[in-house]
A = this chain, B = another copy of it.
Amino acid sequence: MKAAPDKLLLAVDLAGTFVFGLEGAVAGVRGNLDALGLMVVAFATALGGGLVRDLLIGSVPPNAIRDVRYGLCAFAGAAVVFFLHPFVQQVPEPLLVLIDAAGLSLFAIAGARKALDYNIPPFSAVLMGGITGVGGGTIRDLFLAQVPAVLRTDIYAVAALLGAALMVIGVRLKLSPAAMALVGGLACFTLRMVSYHLHWNLPRLANN
């Protein structure tokens, strides 16, 4: 028997997959992909980060292959974009960014936690949290033959790494995992939202 919190977590995880899938498909429309292309980038955006994490930590077959509900949620995101595109276009960007930040937080925390469960060293577990959060968007950008946005702009991956780091530190200090998931997730979400609204960017060197 699964406890209620587990069911809540699964529901949130599937919702995040749906939202990331939707975002991936929106990028696919801009990249002039056909209906199947939308499905592929939706799947890759929503599940690519977790796929790479699972391959790296040795959880094979990856969750996204083993549990078909994840793929279906990603495809549902693509279907919404395909059939309801005029409506999707009217969603205000700040709302999309907010939902995306929630998904990012969730994925980063869950990714770091899973890596620790597989006995990955703490430092690498933080990286796994970051990959879970931003890996899918990176693969999406590669499919669209673009330099991944996460490498160039915004405080995005840093927020994921911050959340994952707090989670990992908490587990190492034997604090309550649930509490640290909340703290880490909120930290990731807050940093992402603040940096978005204040247009924070990471420093870079002049390219000369």
Contacts and interface: CB of A to CB of B under 8 A. Distances in A.
Given A34-B153, A202-B36, A144 B147 contact: yes
A145 B202 CA distance: 21
A183 interface: no
A204 interface: yes
Nearest to A85: B205
Contacts of A166: none
A52 B35 CA distance: 23
Interface stretch (A12-20, A63-71, A100-108, A185-193): A63-71
A145 B146 contact: yes
Contacts of A37: 150-152, 202, 204
Interface in A73-124: 81-82, 85, 118, 120-121, 123-124
Contact of A56 (B32, B36, B65, B123): B65
Interface in A22-81: 28-37, 40-41, 51, 55-58, 60-62, 65-68, 71-72, 81
A123 B124 CA distance: 32
Copies in the complex: 3
B147 A143 contact: yes
Interface of A: 28-37, 40-41, 51, 55-58, 60-62, 65-68, 71-72, 81-82, 85, 118, 120-121, 123-124, 127-128, 142-148, 150-153, 157-158, 201-205, 207
Given A61-B56, A147-B145, A36 B124 contact: no
Contacts of A65: 56-57, 120-121, 124, 127-128
Nearest to A34: B202
B33 A152 contact: yes
Given A32-B152, A55-B55, 15 more contacts: A29-B205, A33-B204, A34-B151, A34-B201, A34-B202, A40-B151, A55-B60, A56-B60, A57-B61, A61-B118, A61-B120, A65-B128, A71-B123, A142-B142, A143-B147
